[in-house]
Amino acid sequence: MSIRDWPDGERPREKLLARGAGVLSDAELLAVFLGSGRRGLSAVDLARNLLADAGGLKPLLDAPRAQAGIGAVAWCRLAAALETGRRYLDAELRRGEALTDPSASARYLKARLAGYPYEVFACLFLDNRHRVIVFEELFRGSIDGASVHPREVVRRCLVHNAAAVIFAHNHPSGIAEPSAADRAITQRLREALELVDVRLLDHFVVGQGTPTSLAQRGWL
């Protein structure tokens, strides 16, 4: 049965307009971007098949287009939507207001780092009122680690005249539990930054679910 034959209250676009995007399932959201299905499959059915084959929404969106099984037009729509979301979060942090909500920082850092299949260490450089100066990816590594060099971190702080920083790195495994190595490098970075009067506010580990804050764990 075509989606056009469904009751109005069950069609993804009509549901979105009437009740908001939050009520849609992953398959329904994906169907909105696909626009149409294939012979014998509605857009929602096609979306369900794509999600099942990929193992969920995140693996589907992280996969190269050739592996995802999505046409070029639909893939461009999805990629543009993801980038729009990242830039929206980026704009939230660039409003000129001081960072007072750790959850906003965590959402932004997850949006920037969660999709990488390898480890990335990044930094939010802040001024003396804890307003964002710039976000930078500083180091990239393999699937299970990235080498972090305190001297380079200090150098970038001086370049940006930062008064404080928030670090973040992703765990491609999806497990956001800080390792002993994570805690050790955080301590080394804090000690190095203290020499140039830069305060380390937090270090987030990004995986599945909510990023883990080392500050909230009492490790800073």
Q: Which pair of structure tokens corresponds to residue 175?
A: 């497990």
- Considering only residues 150 and 7, tell me which one the structure prediction assigns the higher pLDDT: 150
**CB within 8 A of 75, min separation 6: which ones?**
65, 68
Question: In this model, does residue 28 exceed pLDDT 90?
Answer: no
* Cα distances (Å, whole numbers) of residue 120 to 40, 117, 130: 42, 9, 23
Residue 130, SS3?
A: coil
**Which amino acid belongs to residue 81?**
A
* Cα distances (Å, whole numbers) of residue 91 to 104, 105, 159, 183: 11, 12, 22, 30
Q: Which pair of structure tokens corresponds to residue 189?
A: 């970075």
DSSP string, 146-200: ----HHHHHHHHHHHT-SEEEEEEE-TTS--PPPHHHHHHHHHHHHHHHTTT-EE
In this prediction, residue 4 carries a pLDDT of 60
47-58 residue pLDDT tens: 888 888 878 877
The residue whose two tokens read 């995986």 is 207
Give me the residue spans of the domains in the chain: 3-86, 98-213
The residue whose two tokens read 């990023």 is 211
Could you tell me the CATH superfamily of domain 98-213? Cytidine Deaminase, domain 2 (3.40.140.10)
70-100 residue pLDDT tens: 777 777 877 788 778 777 777 666 655 677 7
